[in-house]
Amino acid sequence: MRITIDRVKQMKQAGEKIVMLTAYDYPTARLVDQAGVPLILVGDSLGMVVLGYDSTVPVTMEDMLHHIKAVVRGSQHALVVGDLPFMSYQVSVETALVNAGRLLQEGGCQAVKLEGGERSAATVRALVESGIPVMGHIGLTPQSVNQLSGYRVQGKTPRAAVQLINDARALADAGAFAIVLESIPAVLAKVITEKMEAPTIGIGAGPFCDGQVQVLHDMLGLNPDFAPRHAKRYANLAETVTAAVTRYAAEVRSGVFPSAKESYGMDRPASLPPEPEAESLRQDVRKCSAP
Ligand code: KIV
């Protein structure tokens, strides 16, 4: 049985911190799910993290569906939230309904996430009224990187902070079951969190949010060239993987791998069929047989 959106809301009421992590494929979804993480986000960050784009802008619905399906197959307990990619929900409420519906019907996730506050509220309302749980996302909204002129902390001026409070309120009023706050000052995240009934989930938004989300590859240290201030490294998998791959390559080159332990044996020559053509094979096997 998967976690429900009601359970996520209860966590806020009970003062229980909400843990969310991204996953983009079957094996990582399994690990994250088995570690007891209740919310898995198949973020469009997959465009940068696993597809090598320099922003999330090129990510398509087909990309999202491909990865959401794998994560759903790999998880049993977590609520899987699928990101609506750039331009899949901005054009019209109708397009948003069609695309969000696809993420649930074809992808198998249980909720969608979209970016934007007041500007996205009507869409959120329509999705929720159609039975699609929505997670909002305000602050630094990476799909708008070109409009924002880069990845910058948002809400630092009083005017911008008030706008973000209004954005959060608009999303909550429209029925969002939770709201991601990305890269905003910790004190502003605290104010928003205290004002909202809907849980807030922060990334680069300080410790006062109801929950936290991180990009799995950042916290595992899988990309040595990328270390955002808000991401704490809990492992250095880049080092571990490089060491393992280097050792494998050296062992293949030197002939240490594969050894007899990693090789398969053959039936004993005596048990080979009596046909004449098997005779030469019988002799080859005898010659090659390990002592
Ligand atoms: O795409 C993503 O991974 C996200 C998180 C950073 C919140 O939106």
Task: List Cβ neighbours of 23 (8 Å cut-off, separation of 6 or more).
Answer: 29, 32, 40, 41, 42, 71, 74, 75, 216
Question: Residue 111's domain spans which residues?
Answer: 5-219
Instruction: Say how many domains are in the chain.
Output: 1
Residue closest by Cα to atom 5 of ligand 1 = 43
The answer to the question of residue 23 being in a domain is yes
Ligand 1 first shell, C-beta below 6 A: 22, 41, 43-45, 83, 137, 180, 182, 203, 213, 215
Q: How many residues does the chain have?
A: 291
The answer to the question of residue 236 being in a domain is no
The answer to the question of residue 137 being in a domain is yes
User: What is the CATH number for 171?
Assistant: 3.20.20.60
Question: Could you tell me what percent of the chain has a pLDDT over 90?
Answer: 88
Please report the pLDDT score of residue 287 as a whole number: 79
The answer to the question of residue 188 being in a domain is yes
Q: What confidence tens digit (pLDDT) does each residue in 21-31 have?
A: 999 999 999 99
Q: What confidence tens digit (pLDDT) does each residue in 235-275 have?
A: 999 999 999 999 999 999 999 999 999 999 887 766 666 67
The answer to the question of residue 70 being in a domain is yes
Mutate to test the pocket of ligand 1, among 21, 28, 44, 115 (most ligand atoms within 8 A of CB): 44
Residue closest by Cα to atom 4 of ligand 1 = 43
User: Which active-site residues does the annotation give?
Assistant: 182
Please report the pLDDT score of residue 266 as a whole number: 81
43 CA distance to ligand 1 middle (Å): 5
The answer to the question of residue 256 being in a domain is no
The answer to the question of residue 291 being in a domain is no
Which has the closest alpha carbon to 228: 183, 288, 165? 183
119 CA distance to ligand 1 middle (Å): 19
pLDDT band of 290, cuts 50, 70, 90: low
Mutate to test the pocket of ligand 1, among 24, 45, 214 (most ligand atoms within 8 A of CB): 45
